[in-house]
Amino acid sequence: MKVKVLCRNPDDYVRETTRDIQRVPRNYDPTLHPFEVPREYTRALNATKLERVFAKPFVASLDGHRDGISCITKHAKSLSTIISGACDGEVKVWNLPRQECLRTVQAHEGFVRGICSRFCGTSFFTVGDDKTIKQWNWEAPGYGVREEPINTILGKAVFTGIDHHQREGTFVTCGQTVDIWDEQRSSPIRSFSWGVDSFSCVRYNPVETELLASCASDRSVVLYDTRESAPLRKVIMQLRSNTLCWNPMEAYYFTCANEDYNLYTYDIRHLDVPVTVHMDHVSAVLDVDYSPTGREFVSASFDKTIRIFPKDKGHSREVYHTKRMQHVICVRWSADNKYVLSGSDEMNIRLWKANASEKLGLLSAREKAATHYNKKLIEKFQHHPQVRRIARHRHLPGDILKQKRELREMREAQRRKEQNVRKHSKPGSVPLLTEKEKHVVAVVE
């Protein structure tokens, strides 16, 4: 007779001392783990609920400005520093981790219209309603020394925006024309205009550094090459675009924030139809900024909310609002991809988490593993109705909700009307237009 009976030595299964970690022998045999799918589903449901429970995106509010914030810019080199300009001409430099103002400069009379940081992070430029461009040192002057700009340029007309070249000592401003300046000269190297009287925003392409895009008041977005003497092409839309932002990773895409409550992502190679129309705002969109990864962007709107859109989705994944936040004028995504900054009418700069339920600070390895696991679970079961319902739900202020419903009704009515018109006209005379095609009027070369 040969016999063997299971006999385990407890020493192999129990920790030796109380200072050891517990022994956890595993056996991945599927028959020892019944109800794999229902249990995973339950976990996914719990993870989704917890994600909503922990969604506390608001981090801090930076107050100190005495008028509405008109523009914000990140430091080119330092993650913790930002500059903001207000409607009373004041510029403040902030330290984000300490949430305090480092320096205050009375830069302009009237609005500060635009700020940009030099690529090396030694100085920054401001433009204002007083028709001047001023260059400031990032270092604060010593005690008792007056705040003086390094350089001041007096222009002929009001400047509405400014952006600096990525590598060279040139910058671009917009106003009545789009001007390209050399830092050493007091007059523009080149001026572009294309039959319009004002531009609201101009941005350098982050990759193809000689390329420029600007939003004009004649409802167009114009592209320029600084090496050429004339603008490249423009796309005219049904309503005016306020600002635009290039995708930093796929720099042939840019997104513009439009007055018609939508954002449009264009491919510069095919301007006739936008790649994506991002709809969710219920009022004019005022500012847009891409995340450094180029996968998402944040938009600020007149409807007192900011929204985060995935770059290829038509609807937002997140909406942030507070009771006290008024019309949001400007918004920026921080360079470490973790925070979003918004400046609004009621003189505050707000710091938000880019991922609402993310835990801040250092995570232990187990915490990291757990968050990854939960994320994967939510992704796996995202189409189940229960999970989707919880994951999608966002609280909205009453008036925005009301406006949303109203808008939906209006769109439905328009659609119905169009249908009726099509029904009662000659076949083919009223073509079916997709949402993307509707908003582009013309592309001019």
Applying CB under 8 A, which residues contact another protein? 1-8, 10, 12-14, 22-39, 41-43, 46, 384
Round to whole Å and give the CA distance between 293 and 249: 7
CB of 27 or CB of 434, closer to another protein: 27
In total, the chain counts a number of residues equal to 445
The distance of closest approach from Cβ of residue 412 to another protein in the complex, given in angstroms and rounded to an integer, is: 15
How many Å apart are CA 122 and CA 139, to the nearest integer?
8
Q: How far is the CB of 10 from another protein (least distance, A)?
A: 6
* 240 C-beta neighbours (distance < 10 Å), count: 18
Which lies closer to another protein via its Cβ, residue 312 or residue 406?
A: 312
Output 380-389 pairs: Cβ under 8 A, ≥24 positions apart: 380/40, 380/44, 381/40, 381/41, 381/44, 381/45, 384/41, 384/44, 386/45, 387/44, 387/45, 387/48
The structure tokens listed for 111 are 């609005």
Q: Which is nearer to another protein, 64 or 294 (CB)?
A: 294
How near is the Cβ of 376 to another protein at its closest, in Å? 10
Sheet (strand 262-267) strand order: 241-246, 253-258, 262-267, 276-279
Rounded Cα distance between 98 and 84, Å, is 16
Of 42 and 106, nearer to another protein (C-beta) is: 42
Q: Which is nearer to another protein, 271 or 377 (CB)?
A: 377
**Closer residue to another protein in complex, CB, 44/331:** 44
Contact 273, 279 (CB under 8 A): no
CB of 225 vs another protein, minimal distance in Å = 32
Kindly state the smallest distance separating residue 39's Cβ from another protein, in Å.
Answer: 5
CB of 402 to another protein, least distance (A): 23
Minimum distance of another protein from residue 17's CB (angstroms): 13
How many CA atoms lie less than 13 Å away from 180 in the CB half-sphere? 24
Measured N-to-C along each axis, helices 365-380 and 36-53 cross at an angle, to the nearest 10 degrees, of 110
Q: Which is nearer to another protein, 45 or 273 (CB)?
A: 45
Select 212 or 387, whichever has its Cβ closest to another protein. 387
Compute the distance between CA of residue 10 and CA of residue 14 in angstroms, rounded to an integer. 6
Q: At its nearest, how many Å lie between another protein and the CB of residue 15?
A: 8
Query: Shortest approach of another protein to residue 149 CB, angstroms?
Result: 51
- CB atoms inside a 10 Å sphere around CB 93: 18
Q: Using an 8 Å Cβ cutoff, are 341 and 60 in contact?
A: no
Nearer to another protein, 64 or 314 (CB): 314
As a whole number of angstroms, the distance between CA 217 and CA 178 comes to: 13
